[in-house]
Structure 1
């Protein structure tokens, strides 16, 4: 009797921390390329937020722009730290075992959180 295919519901199963780190690194790369790049091109290269005299137009720096900049900086920050984690695993022998991979994933999440909080103080 042939084995029937199984349906795996990704919303029910619990993914390991290393899998969540890898998937979110890919998602942050997609977000950076398709969302962050056009938005920052619009905001900064078209001088949307500047008055023209080299100063910022505070009236246009509203809640939506702050949220957009904050989410973009979160995505970039996580992508950088997770990319460093992947490069360490690629170029050294560290990060190939489950314990070391879990540790580096936790460190990248923790560093992202710390740096994002510091960045939020600057944006808000």
Structure 2
């Protein structure tokens, strides 16, 4: 008689719901990675614009492209989230907002603040 191995199913990925604090923490890390790579692009554009008048005109013409504006806006929005999330984490490191209720509230507030700042970045970019 062949005995089949019944493997336990402990993890159903379709039913997992992360708490908002975990989502905020994961997004903080992702925004840090996005900001790191965006910094290289932004520094490249800055270097090009500072080399000469032609370089500045070249960067100006690049910035007229909708896709470039979208990338700049996304990069600035990621930076804003990373700053807001970083301040939230610093406050938590000082011993505040460590309870589940206050941590959830601070995560929601950081999302709202980031949304307002992202709209502001959109107004600045466009």
Question: TM-score per shorter chain, which class?
Answer: 0.7 to 0.9
Distance 1:66 1:28 in 2: 18
Deviations 1:7-26 (CA, angstroms, capped at 9, x unpaired): 342x5411111110000001
Contact 2:49 2:55 (C-alpha < 8 Å) held by counterparts: no
SS of 1:18's equivalent in the other structure is: helix
Given the superposition, is the C-alpha separation of residues 19 and 83 from structure 1 closer, same or farther in structure 2, using an over 3 Å criterion? Answer: same
Deviations 1:83-124 (CA, angstroms, capped at 9, x unpaired): 000000001x21110111011101110100001101111101
SS of 1:119's equivalent in the other structure is: helix
SS of 2:49's equivalent in the other structure is: coil
Given the superposition, is the C-alpha separation of residues 87 and 6 from structure 1 closer, same or farther in structure 2, using an over 3 Å criterion? Answer: same
Distance 2:8 2:15 in 1: 20
- TM-score normalized by the length of structure 2: 0.81
Query: What is the RMSD computed on CA atoms of the aligned residues?
Result: 2.5
Q: Does 1:95 align with 2:97?
A: yes
Which structure has the larger Rg? 2
Q: After TM superposition, what 4+ stretches of structure 1 lie above 6 angstroms from structure 2? A: none
Q: Report the Cα offset of residue 65 of structure 1.
A: 1.2
**Which residue in 2 is equivalent to 1:24?**
27
Q: Report the Cα offset of residue 46 of structure 1.
A: 1.8
Aligned residues: 118
Q: Report the Cα offset of residue 4 of structure 1.
A: 4.1
**Which residue in 1 is equivalent to 2:10?**
6
Q: Report the Cα offset of residue 45 of structure 1.
A: 1.5
Distance 1:88 1:99 in 2: 15
Of residues 82, 87, 91 in structure 2, which corresponds to 1:84?
A: 87
Deviations 1:31-55 (CA, angstroms, capped at 9, x unpaired): 111x21211122111229x971896
**Which residue in 2 is equivalent to 1:52?**
53
